Chain A
Amino acid sequence: MAMKEQAPGRCPEVWRPRDAAEACRLKTAFGPDGVFTAGGTLLRTQWESGSAAMPGTLIDLTAIPGLAGIRADEGQLVIGPLVKLSELMRTEAVATAFPLLAEAVRRIGAPSVRNLATIGGNVASAVGDALPALLVHEAELLWHTGGRTETTALEDWLADPGRAQGVRLLTGIRLKRTDAEAPGGPPGRIVGAYRKLGRREAFTPSLVTIAVLGRLSEDGTLTGVRMAAGGGSAVPMRLRAAETVLEGARVTPDALVRVSEAVLAEYRPASDAFAGAEYRRTAAANLIAAEWLRLAGAGREGDGR
């Protein structure tokens, strides 16, 4: 076995901008050879696997004030992109208002990875396992684009992450509290679930991730139904057709069959060496149907889960 002392070739230099505008100017100046770096964990994986070359310059984001920390106000939460995954999952305001996000983050990597990795890096990668949870919570992304700031719905951005031209620095992830969403809205409980399927039970890259969220009324009717799927190299997406099937409906065996058919028709993951697209679509459909069945059943038994 050959021993290597460093990844072959280059040892990038590191620049540390002091504000968002400066970070964008540096990125413009360096072009493709300058890479925004937060925790660097995903970048390291890409360099080691050869899926990306080590760049000449890392633009370290950690000295930019205001990108770390979680702000709560007026029923919404703005999560700074530099918040570490370990901090995010332990934040009370996240665990109570956005349990699916906390659950998704808990399933990413292992404790040591979560101590380095940031939520911003997970989101900006467009394939992070936190994304399906953020999609059903209808997250918005705040960007700094050199001269301006911009807000995009996560769902819109994920529809084509490469489309937006020019330099974009993610500066925040905004979530509206679920319980503030429908004041005086239909009665019922908010129910939801996040599932990650990998080749092992824990500390494993995902093959399929799903998230579901909705409001379950006393009589078993669902409203505000949201579903999303992703995992592996698939860019996560909302499953709008499947949502329509359950909106205003009850979780009956027939409805579940139609939900899984809708997922099979609209979810389009790619195959890789470990799992085919067929398998991923079927697993996503089955996981989603199984979670709705469980959530509806738990509702009927009055079980608080």
Chain B
Amino acid sequence: MIDRTNPVPVQTGSPVFAFTLNGEPVAVTAPPSRRLLDVLRHDLLLTGTKIGCEIGRCGACMVLLDGKPVNACLTMLYQVEGRRVTTIEGIAGGKDALHGVQRAFLEEGGYQCGYCTPGMIVSAAALLAERPDPTDEEIIEALSGNLCRCTGYGGILRAVRRAAAIGREADG
């Protein structure tokens, strides 16, 4: 094993972390262990990512890291260095655009108070990117880390099924 004697401290002076956020390069100066949730909401003023339980259980802060859903409350800034972060603000890929999942949530009434909705949409979009035509079982599994405490899951399930159908129409 190589015996290096100069380990790299990630934090020296005021560290800058570069990553891709919603398709754009960003550089953030903050402590390396700052939560991605705080970086997004407080430092970058992207408040679509919600604060809920802060222990990875509710899914309100779901974002995509290299296309895969992760909880922003569990993720630290240094862990996203050089990687691709997508938030609800960037999920549709354009300012006024709507992702198929967003359209479907509107059409099917997949929300009531709306607080869990960004997280739900991020998880559902990740599922459909990987499995465009999921079974109900796969939808339930993909949303198992997202809690809703008001509208119930019926409308949400309908919305994801509808989003899959929108995807099929767009493809075919």
Contacts and interface: CB of A to CB of B under 8 A. Distances in A.
A14 B78 contact: yes
A22 B4 contact: yes
A111 B7 CA distance: 33
A203 B74 contact: no
A13 B10 contact: yes
B74 A40 contact: yes
Contact of B8 (A18, A21, A86, A116): A18
B1 to A, nearest CB: 5
B10 A14 contact: yes
B69 A115 contact: yes
A21 B1 contact: yes
Contacts of B168: none
Interface of A is mostly: mixed
B71 A112 contact: yes
Interface residues of B, number: 40
Contact of B145 (A20, A39, A111): A111
A58 interface: yes
B167 interface: no
A112 B10 contact: no
A110 B120 CA distance: 13
A13 B9 contact: yes
A22 B1 CA distance: 10
The interface size bin for chain A is 35 or more
Contacts of A48: 54-55
Contact of A112 (B5, B55, B59): B59
A116 B71 contact: yes
Contacts of B5: 22
A112 B55 CA distance: 12
A203 B74 CA distance: 16
Contacts of A110: 59, 144-146
B55 A45 contact: yes
B35 interface: yes
A112 B8 contact: no
A140 interface: no
A44 B75 CA distance: 9
Interface of B: 1-5, 7-11, 31-35, 38, 42, 54-57, 59, 62, 65, 68-71, 73-76, 78-79, 123, 141-142, 144-146
9 contacts: A11-B34, A14-B11, A15-B9, A19-B2, A21-B3, A44-B55, A60-B78, A112-B56, A202-B144
Can you list the 9 inter-chain pairs with the closest CB atoms, starting with the nearest? A110-B145, A11-B31, A14-B32, A14-B10, A13-B11, A112-B69, A110-B144, A115-B68, A112-B145
